Chains A and B, each alone.
Chain A
Amino acid sequence: DTGVSQDPRHKITKRGQNVTFRCDPISEHNRLYWYRQTLGQGPEFLTYFQNEAQLEKSRLLSDRFSAERPKGSFSTLEIQRTEQGDSAMYLCASSLNRRGRTSTDTQYFGPGTRLTVL
């Protein structure tokens, strides 16, 4: 399977603990995105990488959230001092942007990581 993969699929943690999620994009894709989705809502954008550079961050991404994409391959999303309001599905997506083209590149999503904060 060459789609976007995420790990773990489910995470249960206690309030105040730190958690880290991993995303492996489609191999040739140079853009990677993180979204958060709560029940009954569409995904909300968190942050976006072009290769290893983090180019955009949403105001939803508080100081407790940090994302990295070392070497422009996989990405990690860390949440420090988790709160019950952080409970959600965290989705990763990737896309391919071809240099020199005005792009509306299609984002392909992974299966998500379901976080429950007790």
Chain B
Amino acid sequence: EDQVTQSPEALRLQEGESSSLNCSYTVSGLRGLFWYRQDPGKGPEFLFTLYSAGEEKEKERLKATLTKKESFLHITAPKPEDSATYLCAVLPPGSARQLTFGSGTQLTVLP
């Protein structure tokens, strides 16, 4: 069974303190890895899609990278408004269209 594991479960940072979130997966033949941000009581908001090892994408203070077994979401100089749960999801090979999600990392950025 496809597995997606995110670590840490929770992370508290001071404003400006850079860090990384990890997403490891066991899917073979990955067709895509997705990062979403979710605020409390809201639906996930799309951030990035990565397709192949070595690929990187950036948006403001966020940068996502992908290797053959894991992805990292790097947060540079975070601000309190970056506080949210960050979800990682994979699209397995074959005809399946459903995303398999990890449990998320709850990020809190303190002012």
Contact = CB atoms under 8 A, between A and B. Distances in A.
B49 A45 contact: no
B101 A43 contact: yes
A41 B44 contact: no
A107 B99 contact: yes
B16 to A, nearest CB: 28
B44 to A, nearest CB: 5
Q: Classify chain B's interface size.
A: 20 to 34
A45 B31 CA distance: 17
B98 A33 contact: yes
Contacts of A58: 98
Nearest to B45: A109
A74 interface: no
B46 A106 contact: yes
B97 A109 contact: no
B45 A42 contact: no
Interface string B66-93: 0000000000000000000001010100
Interface string B44-67: 111001010000000000000000
A23 B2 CA distance: 28
Interface in A60-114: 91, 93, 104, 106-112, 114
Given A42-B87, A42-B89, A104-B49, A111 B98 contact: no
A43 B46 CA distance: 14
A69 B43 CA distance: 21
B41 interface: yes
Interface of A: 4, 6, 31, 33, 35, 40-45, 48, 55-56, 58, 91, 93, 104, 106-112, 114
10 contacts: A4-B43, A33-B97, A42-B4, A42-B87, A42-B104, A45-B99, A56-B96, A91-B43, A109-B43, A112-B42
Given A45-B99, A56-B98, A104-B32, 20 more contacts: A33-B97, A40-B103, A40-B104, A42-B89, A43-B44, A43-B89, A43-B101, A45-B100, A55-B97, A91-B43, A91-B44, A107-B34, A109-B36, A109-B44, A109-B45, A111-B42, A111-B43, A112-B42, A112-B43, A114-B41
